[in-house]
Chain A
Amino acid sequence: MSSEMDNFIGLSAVLTGFSHNLLAPPLDPVDIKAEYLPFFKRKIAQESGDPNLAGQIFQKYSALHAQGLTPQQIGAAMLDPSNGEDFVLACRKLIFMWYSGAWPTLIPAAGSTPASTVSDMISAKSYTASLVWQVMQSHPMGDSNYRYGYWAKAPAPLSDYTGN
């Protein structure tokens, strides 16, 4: 039986499009997953009013995973509206959290103002660990491990950044 963390990382890999190994490397001094999992559980329990929602999400993922489905099939099944609005929204917020290091609040459309999103940075570490910078084949603004002049040349292929 998989642990909660295994399910959390497995689900996160499916939804974000990043490899399991990149989200949770075997040697993981940053260990952002240890910050995200309890944070995620707490936030979605607060927001949905359902303390069991995270458990249901992980259980569903675990069941789908056990069926040997592809990541595409698992992701589509997790985000299917039949799971319920809170369930799907929690999964989408999980994507946003990994990508941005921040927790989103959705602001519905009002009059001529369209729907938008604001977010709160979870921690200094979550900013530097956020994935959106990898998607653009770059580094978090203010946290470059590159060397002088790298910006004059094309970066490594996208797959190097996502692990997929």
Chain B
Amino acid sequence: MTTKAYDLVIVGSGISGAIIAYQLGKQGKKVLILEAGQEVPVDRSGYMQTFYKANAKTPESPYPPTTQNPQASTPENPLGLPNPALENVPRYTVLQINAWRKPDQCYFTYPPQPPGLTGDSQEALFAFASSYERIGGGTTWHWLGTSLRLFPNDFELKTQYGQGVDWPGGKKFYQALVPYYEKATNEIGVAGDKVALDKLYKQFGVEPSGSYGPNYNYPMPPIVDSMVDAAFGQVTSLTVDGNPVYTTPTPQGRNSLPGDRRQCAGNTNCIPICPIQAKYDATVTLANALQTGNVDIRYRCVASNIRVDDTTRQVTGIDYISYDDHLGPPTGHGTAVGTKYLLAAHAIETPKLLLMSNKTKGFPNGVANSSGQVGRNLMDHIMYLAWGLAKDPVYSYRGPLATSGFESLRDGAFRSKRSAYRIEIGNEGWQWAANDPYTTLADFVFGQNNSQLNGNSVNQHGQPLRFDPTLPANSQLFGAQLVNTLNGIYIRQIRLGYLIEQLPDPDNRVQLSAEKDHLGLYRPQVTYRLRSNYERDAFVSAKQVSTEIFNAMGATEYTQAPPPPRLYGTPDQVTATNFQYRGQNFKFYGAGHIVGTYRMGDSKTNSVLNSRQQSWDHSNLYMVGSGVFPTVATGNPTLTIAALALQAADNILEDLNKTSTETEEALADAS
């Protein structure tokens, strides 16, 4: 079946696809969205029930398909992870990280570890640590809401610091993006503190007129700081590599006032799901797009191939396979036809689709891939976590998950030597860092010591970590003593997360696996390393800076050194994200920021897209999302993704109007 002709066919209904559909729909353009996943539900109560029942409250836990089935637990598959070969729309989940060498449990496959490596080898392969969703509304269902802009220097890392690459045009790209940042801020409805952000931008040489536009302010007043923020805010006397250390309230995509959506009620659950949709997600924009009357969406339609005319090099259609039940057979197939085409399927599925589309004569390496860059330069913000107990109660586990950060360390001359980072301040105690409240609970109910609070543990500075020195090691408490001990711990828990800039490495890449999903489509094979000491040196810095911050606020550090990396052995024996550097053991975490696999650039020889987010090879094909980023930069990507989508919408509209003008002129000439 071939669809009616649309002006634009979009693959993916996440924030980028939804924004562009809305922008074009408002202008009367006819748009079709193909969404591989299930429909946006009428309300989110079903997702909430799935979340409440889930054993592991991972970012993906509320959403279909199910991330784990404890009833299916076996010794080889203790979590009961589903077999991706049996699923129509599998995706990578955080629970799969430790099963990365088990293709019957992990959607991604990985090449074998090269032989003869040691734990500190730069060639060591790791599991990728970040995940995404394949459902209507996409991955913003589980985004945090952090809505930071990148700095001008983020756009020219090569020019300024001799590292990585520049974005096309460097700072000029940033300047062109400024008005779209404003629009993106409005679309998301960001709550932000302009005065605090002005101070930050000024530190990095950006005047308000260059960062927000002359009279710009956020559409919502700032979200109030947490008591955890206030404790970290007292740290003002430190410097790191010449930069002052101070906190900045985080601009956030959640309502600080009631509006079209509810006011944030501090559910402390932005990831994986805001129960009341106080946090923006792409279903907001998607609904607006559909209400234009010009946008159609087809759910459960998985794009399987991009058709290209081998003479004109124009994309002529996108083949898709449909299904009804996630585990059932395919129920149909078709080809979506439009004048222009847009891939908005995030940074794993988009390159996979391009690489799979290798059946057209002249395109054996897939569509849009004359540069050979499709799938390359996979990046994330690689994360270092540090945690501790504050001296006084800070009442953790309350408010949005993060409301402030240390943004003042994101740029500086040090970037010629090591990766920059921002530091996110967590309001969720040790939930991420140590699986609390459950780890500490089990320790004091059953006399264990995995939290280090109930034994003879000492930290890296030799400080004893037993919470109550009057209690014996491995205490088993009950009643009021249990209540008071746990209370004293939980209300003091603090956590820092460093979002470390990973450099583009062409060998970090998405390829086609030999393994397939239930529709017979290839699964991604992922090659992922931390090859540069530039990145690893940032871990050393992060570790040291955490200690300095905790000391400055009188906190006790509980960061646990991870076990040493194990590169070889059975799938259960090998580690996934552990590495050694300068004699220290580290474990990295994912930030959920999947970036770089179809990057923009100045030249068709080293990039997939031009600065208009248009394929160098096929002028009627565009791609959006964080896959277009040439570098991962120092801010969470979603606001920039939204700004780029708004910019791409203007480019596509311009091209569509040009096309229709040309057609009208041709018709006039013919008559």
Contacts and interface: CB of A to CB of B under 8 A. Distances in A.
Interface stretch (B162-170, B174-182, B394-402): B394-402
Contacts of A151: 224, 226-227, 266, 395, 398-400, 403, 427
Given A15-B479, A114-B449, A144-B267, A121 B54 contact: yes
Given A17-B480, A148-B266, A151-B226, A115 B448 contact: yes
B478 A124 contact: no
A92 B486 CA distance: 15
A143 B480 CA distance: 25
A142 B48 contact: yes
B646 to A, nearest CB: 29
A124 B441 contact: no
B399 A117 contact: no
Contact of B445 (A96, A128, A141, A164): A96
A148 B483 contact: no
A38 interface: no
A142 B275 contact: yes
Nearest to A140: B52
Nearest to A18: B483
Contact of A142 (B224, B267, B438): B267
Interface string A1-27: 000000000000011111000000000
A154 B393 contact: yes
For chain A, which range describes its interface: under 10, 10 to 19, 20 to 34, or 35 or more residues?
Answer: 35 or more
A144 B265 contact: yes
B482 A17 contact: yes
A92 B483 contact: no
A133 interface: yes
Interface string A40-84: 000000000000000000000000000000011001000100000
Contacts of A153: 227
Contacts of B448: 114-117
A92 B438 contact: no
Contacts of A121: 52-55
B479 A72 contact: yes
A14 B224 CA distance: 39
Interface string A148-160: 1111111100100
Among B227, B429, B431, B480: residue with most chain A CB under 10 A:
B480
B267 A141 contact: yes
Contacts of A142: 48, 51-52, 57, 267-269, 273, 275
B70 A120 contact: yes
A142 B272 CA distance: 9
B254 to A, nearest CB: 10
Contact of A119 (B49, B226, B397, B438): B438
B478 A15 contact: yes
Contacts of B473: none
A136 B478 contact: no
Interface in A92-128: 92, 95-96, 99-100, 102, 104, 106, 114-117, 119-121, 123-125, 127-128
A17 B398 contact: no
Contact of A71 (B54, B256, B479): B479
A8 B480 CA distance: 18
A144 B55 contact: no
B487 A135 contact: yes
A136 B427 CA distance: 13
A17 B481 CA distance: 8
Given A137-B395, A138-B395, A155-B395, A96 B479 contact: no
Contact of A17 (B264, B400, B479): B479
B487 A136 contact: yes
A100 B397 CA distance: 15
Most chain B CB neighbours (cut-off 10 Å) among A116, A120, A125, A141? A141
Contacts of A92: 445-446, 476, 478
A127 B53 contact: yes
B482 A95 contact: yes
A100 B51 contact: no
B96 to A, nearest CB: 18
Contacts of A37: none
A158 B487 contact: yes
Of A17, A18, A124, A151, most buried by chain B (CB within 10 Å of CB) is A151
Contacts of A135: 437, 483, 486-487, 490
Given A96-B441, A119-B438, A138-B397, A132 B51 contact: no
B442 A158 contact: no
Nearest to B50: A124
B269 A100 contact: no
A124 B438 contact: no
A164 to B, nearest CB: 7
A148 B266 CA distance: 6
Nearest to A154: B395
B87 interface: no
A61 to B, nearest CB: 13
B450 interface: yes
B245 interface: no
B541 interface: no
B427 A148 contact: no
B491 interface: yes
Interface string B567-579: 0000000000000
Contacts of A99: 441, 445
Nearest to B485: A135
Given A17-B478, A141-B428, A96 B442 contact: yes
Given A92-B476, A152-B224, A152-B225, A102 B267 contact: no
A18 B263 CA distance: 32
B444 to A, nearest CB: 9
B266 A102 contact: no
B478 A95 contact: yes
A136 B491 CA distance: 6
Contact of A136 (B403, B438, B490): B490
Contact of B266 (A79, A95, A115, A144): A144
Contact of A79 (B398, B428, B450, B476): B476
Interface in B218-274: 224-227, 256, 263-269, 273
Given A17-B483, A123-B53, A138 B446 contact: no
Nearest to B483: A17
A37 to B, nearest CB: 19
Nearest to B437: A132
Given A136-B397, A141-B431, A16 B479 contact: yes
Of all A-B residue pairs in the complex, the 3 with the closest CB atoms, nearest first, are: A151-B399, A117-B442, A124-B52
Given A75-B478, A133-B397, 20 more contacts: A15-B479, A16-B479, A71-B480, A92-B445, A96-B445, A99-B441, A102-B438, A104-B442, A106-B446, A117-B438, A117-B446, A119-B442, A124-B50, A137-B395, A137-B487, A141-B428, A142-B52, A142-B275, A145-B265, A158-B483
6 contacts: A16-B479, A123-B52, A135-B487, A146-B266, A151-B395, A151-B427
Interface of A: 14-18, 71-72, 75, 79, 92, 95-96, 99-100, 102, 104, 106, 114-117, 119-121, 123-125, 127-128, 132-133, 135-139, 141-155, 158, 162, 164
